[in-house]
Structures are given as structure tokens and as C-alpha cells.
Amino acid sequence: MKNIDSYTHTRGESIYLDDIPLIRGTLFAACFDSPIAHGKLLSIDTSEAETSEGVVKVLTHKDITGANQIGGIIPDEPLLADHQVHFCGMPIALVLADTDEAARKAVKKIKVQIDPLPVITDPREAAAQNELIIPPRTFKIGDSAGAFAKCDHVFEGKCDTNGQEHLYIETQGAYALPQENGVIKIYSSTQGPTAVQRAVSKVTGLPMHMLEIDVTRLGGGFGGKEDQANTWAALCALATHITRRPVKYSLSRMEDMRMTGKRHPYSSDFKIGLNKDLKIIAFETTTYQNAGAAADLSPAVMERTLFHCTNTYFIPNVTATAYSCRTHLPPNTAFRGFGGPQGMFIIESAIAKAADELGIDAWTIQHKNLLHSGDELPYGQKVESEAHECWNRADELYNLKSIQDKVQDFNAANTLYKKGLAIMPICFGISFTNTLMNQARALVHVYTDGSVVVSTGAVEMGQGINTKMLQVAAHVFSIDPSRVKVNSTNTYRIANTSPSAASATADLNGKATLNACAAILVRLKEVAAAELNVAEGDITLQDEFVYVNGVKTDWNWNKLVLTAHNKRVSISEHGHYATPEIHFDKTKEKGHPFAYHVYGTSITEVTVDCIRGTYEIDAVKLVHDFGHSMNALIDRGQIEGGLVQGIGWMTMEEIVYDKEGKLRSNALSTYKVPDIYAAPKEIDIDFLKTEKSSLAIFRSKAVGEPPLMYGIGAFFALRNAIKHFNADVKPAFDAPMTPEKVLMNLYGQLIKTETPVMTAV
Ligand code: LUZ
Ligand code: MOS
């Protein structure tokens, strides 16, 4: 089945926030944000802005009617700066004007006095000064210190991953409309309508039932709108609450890049111990997360880093400690993978380091240590592994030896071009790590004409969730998909939603939809049984007809639902789903936090131009554990998109803050993202059908985040190509591997491994 949005997308008819027709009297908002990363805010002078043409009002923290607080996990983030600024781009004042242009023009007339304070941009420096968001956490299995003594080989090292700009095509924004009796309706480009509702409630002081949040679709989220859509919705709603006028704010690209947080950079130390058979016996890591100026989702992201720091390998002795470090950057936030990719980069770096030192290929070590079913991860969960199935299938299908030979032959025949190869096996845990968030609800109405409408807590952001929800309803009722419509996500229809995140949206909302449809189906069967004078157990619905013991009757779907209604039987249902079996005890750091894991193996081939340092990704061939894919087209799209986004993070996307905490890569002229030319020349995806996990919707495993981590293979493939050119060089584990870094590595000029910092000009 095609994505149900493809028709309106192709015709440019899909409605995004900025396409909503404006109501007369709409005010346009624009932020004045801090030009300084850290300092005492001594004064805000808005007088000139207030008299600027078209300006209706300028709001500061003094105008906030509720609490000046938008922190989700920890209340440490003011909406508008009051006595201090903590990062460049922190909102200080909000201009409301008759037009977008007037608002942005007036912003430039605001003046502030800020007494600068010392700026920290480096997480290790923050940790040294005890600037931590939460106390450090340690995951532990076995006795790593004791185990190292018994290892034949022990290696230590350091690795770094940089941040990543979400670069959703649709920037952040909100549109707030005053309704009767003080109610405010808010259109928001958010992954979390309930998160927006809570934040707006806190800031305005209005109870949640006075706030209706509605989301039709987003032009991309990638985690950037899990928590950070709240700011713009809260600002617009506050302005509507005060002025009783509609207020809209749709950020420009540069505003968005400057003011919002990104993927968390991490800097990590590692130590790995192997026995002579290349089994990894012990692993230790200490990792420093750059959280930025406020907690946002950083504690949860840090937790997922710990969950994934052994990737898909069984290691009996592990000690992993993580620090969430407060710096003066915009608060970093959720980004596809949610700290998992950063954790996986650490163990992959440790394995590559061991391979370097032992003079062998990393995949020899990788293969020997893949998880088996029943193996226990450092956090206590025993896995149902598909790691060997994926690896073996990849080898069988793509013939690893022949790819190795091809690379070797090419490298023997060429001096100025070198090829590199890497394998990236993945294992990603599915569920929100915060157990209570693993619940969802759906509202299903059948109308008397036989048409069906489904509302869930799921937000469509291009990932195809609405198509999957539609498929669930059509499947359970056994009706034509054209009979089902999926409604916008609205807090008056579905309450207390978890954000569309953690790859779990289709599972959670799909199962809630399934439960709602199944409950209606039971009642419809009761009606049919009574009408046909047979037992309920004899009734089935197939292709829009009632069957009795497998024999088709003349009762069709329309007749059945109309009869049910006429007999005063409800043909509506509100379904609830909560993931069974999951639990986690933070005091012990042990439990069973994930419904299941998703596995896969990718093979990445690259070619480096050894004069220029430029490179191409020749091919990524992968075997992915889909379970039973319920929509192969949509799932393929998720794999391709995730893969290329991961390659971007690992190779070309380079976020640069200067020492003063100012974003230097603040536009698409200075921040390079993959385009069609940067995409692999060949992407080969094998759909591995697996059976072990039954908690996925229709056994169709979560597919949103796992493929991003195949991109990590590009870093190690480039590193291997460099080593084929210059055997003396051991490139630092410092992602992204930009062409500049490739060039310097090729000629043995090792560059610093810290997050790149430029001096301000
Ligand atoms: N968001 C969240 C997530 O709040 N908790 C999670 O565990 C998570 N995982 C992945 C992506 N977003
Ligand atoms: Mo996400 S990182 O699943 O919002």
C-alpha cells in the first residue's frame, strides 16, 4: 500500500503549519534572542521596538501569566530569560506585529545590557567544574576491573561524536487562536501535542482542558520537535492569552538553527579487553554528554547511550559511566537514535582500535562477539537475538570475501584512489526507556454509512504513521482501506499522549487502534449472530461480508453497522494499550526496559580521492530485521532516509560553535547535509523476515531509528580507506570524517580530537 499522503504531497496540497489559512487580525511573532552565551541580564529596553511600525506589543518574562518555566524532565529552563542568559539564541523578548516583516524589523531595535560570565562549550570542562545536569549513572555487569587482568589484549582510547542539526524541511512554529470563554486552540508543528499542552498550561496558568492542541502533519521532526516545539507554542499561546488575538510564529531557517538544540555531542574514554580468541571479555567507558544549558531530554538521552554502549555484542564484564554536562550551548535534545548511536560509536571505536593494534580487520572481532539469544545485556535484559541471522544472511547474499577481494584488488592497482570497507551490525532497543511512556490510546468511530475515522496520539511527520494506522483499522474490520480516514492528532480527542518518538509510535498507537477496532468487532459479531441466529463464534468478517462458519452471507459491512446502530449498539470505541513485560529499576540499573530489539548488518564501501580528501560512498548493502513488514514501501523509505541521515552525521555535517558559544555553522552555506550526490551510489536492502518478537504491531518491527546507525559504517570505511593509503596513520575516532579531516589524516597530520572549535572572527 502506498503512503496515503503521496497524492497531496505530490500536488503540493498537503497542509503544514504555514499553509493554514490565516484568520483576520492575526499577529505575527518574532523573538529577540541572546547574542551572548552566558551572562547577567541587567536590562531589556523594548521602547524603540514598541513604537516601530506595525508593532502591537512586546512581551518579556514580566508578562508571563503563569510560570516562566518550560523544563520537561527538570524545571531548569525559563521560557524568556529573566536575570541570566545561558546560551546564544536564548529567547529574551517576543515582538507581536501586524506582519512578519514588521515583527522581525522591530526585533533589531531591542537593546539589552548583559554582563558576560565565563562560557563553557566543552563537556569535559563542564564535568571538571561539576556542572552536571544530573548525577552520573553507571551500568555494570560482571567485574570489568578484575576481568582486564585476565585478558590477553587490553587497549585504551578516546572517541568523539559531534552534534547534528535536525534540518526538518518545515521549521519550528505554532499558530494560536483564541476561542470562546478563554480557551486557546494551538496548531503546533510538534511530535508531542501533550508536551505542548503541558508547557502552555504551565506558562499561561490555564488548566489543560482550556488548551486544544491540533497537529495535521509535520514536515519532519527527527526528535527536534519532541520537546522543543513547546517554546514556540508557549510563546504564541501566551501572546494570544494576553492579547486575545490569533498569534503565529513560523521560524526562519537561521532562527531555527540558532535557537534550537541539536543532537548531543559526546566525548568518551574507553578500555577494551580481549582474550586470544578475540572474544571481548571486558569493556569500560566513561562518556561525557554535552547537554547544553538546560536539561531538556538529556537525562533520557544519556540513559539510552548507556543502554547501547555495547551495541550488538555480548560482553560479560562491563562498566559504563555517563555524565550529562551543562555547557552554554542551546539545550541539546532528542535526535533519531536518542543517544543510542553515540553509545554504539564508542564500542565500534574500541573494536577498531583493537583491530588496528592487532593488525586484523575489525569485522573479525565484530563477528566473534555478536549476541546470541539468551545473552544478557549490561542492564539485565536477556535478548532474543537476530544478530547472527542478519550477519550470516548479509555474507551469503553479498559475499563479504568477494567485496574484500574487490577492495584489495582496487587498492593494489590504484595509488591515488583507495577504497575502504566496514561492517556495521546494529541492535536497537524498542520502547521509551521511561517505562510509563509506553502507553497509547486511539478513538475509532464507525459511521452509519460504513465509513470509519481513526484518531490516535500518533503524529504524522512524513514517516507514514497515518498509513499504518489506516492499515490496522482496515485489516481488523476487513474493509477496503478507502473506507478509513485518519484524523489529525488532537488533545481533545486523545489525551495524555506520549510523543511520536522512540520508534515506538506505530507499535503503541497501532495496538491501541487494534484494541479499539477489536472491541467494536466483538459487538458487531454479537449483532450479526443474533440476526442470523447462530453462535458468535461462528461469525467472521471478510472483505466486507459476514461469513458463518466460512460461508458467505448477504450481510455486508454497511448493513451490519447500520443494524448495530439501529439496535442501539455502540459502533465507537476508545482503545488503550500499554506495553506488557517491560520494567526497569533505576536503583539497580537492571530490568527489562525494551519490548524487543531490532537487528541488522550493513556493509559499506567507500572510495577516497587521496589528493583531494574527497570521497564517495560506493555502496551500502544491508540485511535488516523487519519482523513481518506491514508496509514494505514505507519501511524501505525509513531505511533509506535513516541510513543517509546517519552517513551525514558521520561524514559531512559539522556543527561549529566558537569559544564564545556562538553557532558558526548557522546556515546551509556553512552546514553541509547530504544531498542526492552524497547518497550512496547503491543501496541494497534485504528484508529479513523474522519471527521471534511478538510485541510489534502485526509483528512488523519498529523501523524509525535503527537504520540511522548503519551510517556509522561510513566513518569506519573511510578510516580504513585512509589506512590503505597511509599505513602509518591511525585516524582519531573523531566524527564527522569530513573531507578536511580525511585529507589531513591521509598525510599523517593528526588533528585534535576535541569538538572542533573556531576562534571568533
Ligand atoms: N524519547 C524519549 C525517545 O522520551 N524516550 C526514549 O527512550 C526515546 N528513545 C528514542 C527516541 N526518543
Ligand atoms: Mo525521537 S529521537 O524518536 O523524537
Written as one letter, the residue type at 738 is T
Domain boundaries, the chain: 6-118+166-259, 266-432+589-752, 439-578
Residue 57 parent element (H or E): strand 55-59
Pick the atom of ligand 2 nearest to 705's CA: 3
Q: Is the CB of 334 under 6 A from ligand 2?
A: yes
Name the DSSP letter for residue 85: E
**Residue 21, preceding peptide bond in cis (omega within 30° of 0):** no
Strand ranges in 581-722 using DSSP code E only, listed in sequence order: 583-585, 590-592, 596-609, 615-627, 657-658, 682-689
Quickly list DSSP for 476-496: HHT--GGGEEEPPEETTTS-S
Cell of 29: 511573532
Pocket test for ligand 2, best of 190, 222, 305, 342 (most atoms within 8 A of CB): 222
Report the nearest-CA residue for atom 3 of ligand 2.
501
Contact call for residues 577 and 570 (beta carbons, < 8 A): no
Pick the atom of ligand 1 nearest to 304's CA: 7
Name the DSSP letter for residue 37: S
Neighbours of 49 (CB within 10 A): 22
Cα 163 to ligand 2 centroid, rounded to whole Å: 15
**CATH, domain range 266-432+589-752:** 3.30.365.10
Q: Is the CB of 502 under 6 A from ligand 1?
A: yes
Residue 474 parent element (H or E): helix 465-477
Q: Is the CB of 424 under 6 A from ligand 2?
A: no
How far apart are the C-alpha atoms of 101 and 290, rounded to whole Å? 35
For the CA of 300, the nearest ligand:
1
Which residue is associated with the grid cell 507499535? Answer: 507
* Helix/strand/coil (H/E/C) assignment for every residue in 663-693: ECCCCCCCCCCCCCCCCCCEEEEEEEECCCC
Pick the atom of ligand 1 nearest to 336's CA: 11
Residues of the chain scoring pLDDT < 50 = 751-761
- Give the model confidence (pLDDT) of 487-514 as tens digits: 999 999 999 999 999 999 999 999 999 9
Per-residue model confidence (pLDDT) at position 750:
52
How far apart are the C-alpha atoms of 190 and 218, rounded to whole Å? 7
Q: Which CATH number fits domain 6-118+166-259: 3.40.50.2000, 3.20.20.100, 3.90.1170.50, 3.30.565.10?
A: 3.90.1170.50
Percent of the chain with pLDDT over 90: 98
Pick the atom of ligand 2 nearest to 501's CA: 3
Report the nearest-CA residue for atom 6 of ligand 1.
432
Cα 531 to ligand 1 centroid, rounded to whole Å: 48
Q: Is the CB of 502 under 6 A from ligand 2?
A: yes
Work out whether strand 317-326 and strand 280-292 pair parallel, antiparallel, or are unpaired. Answer: parallel
Give SS3 for 140. strand
- CA–CA distances in Å: residue 474 to residues 17, 467, 513, 587: 29, 10, 11, 44
Of 678, 677, 672, whose CA–CA distance to 654 is shortest? 672
Cell of 502: 522512540
Cα 332 to ligand 1 centroid, rounded to whole Å: 14
Per-residue model confidence (pLDDT) at position 693:
81
Percent of the chain with pLDDT over 70: 98
Cα 371 to ligand 1 centroid, rounded to whole Å: 23
Q: Which residues contact 587 (CB under 8 A, 6 or more apart)?
A: none
For the CA of 704, the nearest ligand:
2
Cα 259 to ligand 2 centroid, rounded to whole Å: 19
Q: Which residues contact 512 (CB under 8 A, 6 or more apart)?
A: 440, 441, 442, 456, 457, 575, 576, 577
Pocket test for ligand 2, best of 166, 168, 226 (most atoms within 8 A of CB): 226
Sheet strand arrangement including 489-490:
55-59, 91-97, 27-33, 247-250, 173-178, 184-188, 211-215, 489-490
Please provide the size of the chain in residues.
761
Pick the atom of ligand 1 nearest to 303's CA: 7
Cα 709 to ligand 2 centroid, rounded to whole Å: 14
Contact call for residues 78 and 202 (beta carbons, < 8 A): no
Q: Is the CB of 58 under 6 A from ligand 1?
A: no
- Give the model confidence (pLDDT) of 673-695 as tens digits: 999 999 999 999 999 999 998 89
Per-residue model confidence (pLDDT) at position 701:
98
Per-residue model confidence (pLDDT) at position 529:
98
Q: Which residues contact 727 (CB under 8 A, 6 or more apart)?
A: none
Q: Is the CB of 432 under 6 A from ligand 1?
A: yes
Asked if the domains at 6-118+166-259 and 439-578 fall in one CATH topology, the answer is no
Active-site residue among 180, 526, 705, 754?
705
Pocket test for ligand 1, best of 297, 336, 503 (most atoms within 8 A of CB): 297
For the CA of 301, the nearest ligand:
1
Contact call for residues 557 and 476 (beta carbons, < 8 A): no
Pick the atom of ligand 2 nearest to 334's CA: 2
Q: Is the CB of 507 under 6 A from ligand 2?
A: no
Cα 649 to ligand 1 centroid, rounded to whole Å: 19
- Give the model confidence (pLDDT) of 391-423 as tens digits: 999 999 999 999 999 999 999 999 999 999 999
- CA–CA distances in Å: residue 160 to residues 153, 289, 342, 647, 745: 23, 10, 9, 16, 16
Q: Which residues contact 12 (CB under 8 A, 6 or more apart)?
A: none
For the CA of 225, the nearest ligand:
2
Q: Is the CB of 228 under 6 A from ligand 2?
A: no
Cα 575 to ligand 1 centroid, rounded to whole Å: 23
Q: Would you call 705 a catalytic residue per the annotation? A: yes
For the CA of 305, the nearest ligand:
1
Per-residue model confidence (pLDDT) at position 760:
45
Cell of 83: 536575570
Q: Is the CB of 334 under 6 A from ligand 1?
A: yes
Pick the atom of ligand 2 nearest to 337's CA: 2
Per-residue model confidence (pLDDT) at position 748:
81
* Level-2 CATH architecture, domain 439-578: 2-Layer Sandwich (3.30)
Q: Is the CB of 335 under 6 A from ligand 2?
A: yes
Task: Please name every residue paired with 41 in a beta bridge, in sequence order, or none if there are none.
Answer: 114
Q: Is the CB of 225 under 6 A from ligand 1?
A: no
Q: Cite the DSSP H helix spans in 161-229.
A: 193-204
Pick the atom of ligand 2 nearest to 224's CA: 4
Q: Is the CB of 463 under 6 A from ligand 2?
A: no
Per-residue model confidence (pLDDT) at position 694:
85
Pocket test for ligand 2, best of 338, 438, 459 (most atoms within 8 A of CB): 338
Q: Is the CB of 166 under 6 A from ligand 2?
A: no
Report the nearest-CA residue for atom 4 of ligand 2.
223
